[in-house]
Amino acid sequence: MEQSFIMVKPDGVQRNLVGDIVQRFENKGYTLAAAKLMTIPGEMAEKHYDELKDKPFFDSLISFITSGPVFAMVWEGENVIAEARKMMGTTNPAEAAPGTIRGDYAVQVGMNVIHGSDSQESAAREIDLFFDKSEIQSYEKNVTDWV
Ligand code: UDP
């Protein structure tokens, strides 16, 4: 089953949005496979955002993402990578549709509340970077047949 790495960023944790975001993924019908509250070490943040290292906003992105605890998760389900991106809304909250997480809760691109993997390759890489295999649960929920 497909898995995505989803993370409530430090602004989302500070603004008490962890519960709402978890609720949205549960309501959608996805299965939580792993979760932890953690502060990302600088080196790990640089690895996570490696493909953005030449962007002008890279340094501010790294200092923001390491500035306080994040809530890192693995969610599992059919097409979860693409669907989670839809649920999140566009990168720039100013363009994100109402009803999406960024559309509902964020104003500026530098503080857009949530991260979600954008492809199968990034999902695999990000899950591996943030979680040890032993932290990821594999289980069936009876309700899955109804989703
Ligand atoms: N970002 C930023 N300024 C920009 C573009 C992006 O600070 O002009 C930040 C923003 O927090 C975004 C993250 O860099 O979520 C990663 O950018 P990406 O293009 O990968 O967007 P995402 O996949 O998060 O939607």
| Residue 61: CATH number of its domain | 3.30.70.141
- What is the position in ligand 1's atom list of the atom closest to the CA of 112? 11
Residue 145's pLDDT band, with cuts at 50, 70 and 90, is confident
Query: Does 115 qualify as catalytic in the annotation?
Result: yes
Q: At 71, phi and psi to the nearest 5?
A: -110, 100
Residue pair 64/110 in contact by the 8 Å Cβ criterion:
yes
Q: How much is the average pLDDT of 84-104?
A: 98
82 inside domain = yes
Say how many Å lie between the CA of residue 140 and the centre of ligand 1: 34
124 alpha carbon to ligand 1 midpoint, in Å?
19
Query: Residue 7: inside a domain, yes or no?
Result: yes
**Ligand 1 pocket check for 4: Cβ under 6 Å:** no
Ligand 1: which of 5, 6, 109, 122 to mutate, most ligand atoms within 8 Å of CB? 109
Number of structural domains found in the chain: 1
126 domain residue, yes or no: yes
143 part of a folded domain: no
- Which domain does 88 fall in, by range? 3-138
Q: What is the pLDDT of residues 1-28, one digit of tens each?
A: 999 999 999 999 999 999 999 999 999 9
Residue 8 lies in a domain: yes
Kindly report the pTM of this predicted structure: 0.97
- Asked whether residue 56 carries a pLDDT value surpassing 90, the answer given is yes
Residue 29 in any domain: the answer is yes
Say what the pLDDT of residue 88 is: 98
Ligand-binding annotation for 15, yes or no, is no
pLDDT at position 99: 98
Mean pLDDT of the chain: 97
Amino acid at 106: A
Catalytic residue among 106, 115, 116, 126: 115
d(CA 34, CA 75): 7
Q: Which residue has the higher pLDDT, 144 or 7?
A: 7
**Residue among 80, 76, 50 nearest 65 (CA):** 50
Q: Domain for residue 146, yes or no?
A: no
The rounded Å distance from CA 109 to ligand 1 centre is 7
Residue range 41-51: mean pLDDT, rounded: 98
Identify the pLDDT of residue 144.
Answer: 85
Cα gap 12→112, rounded to integer Å: 8
Instruction: Give start and end residues of each alpha helix (H) in 18-137.
Output: 18-28, 42-48, 58-65, 80-88, 101-105, 120-130
Q: What is the pLDDT of residue 67?
A: 98
> How far is it, in rounded angstroms, from Cα 97 to Cα 109?
14
- At residue 34, the pLDDT reads 98
pLDDT at 118: 98
Assigned domain for 11 exists: yes
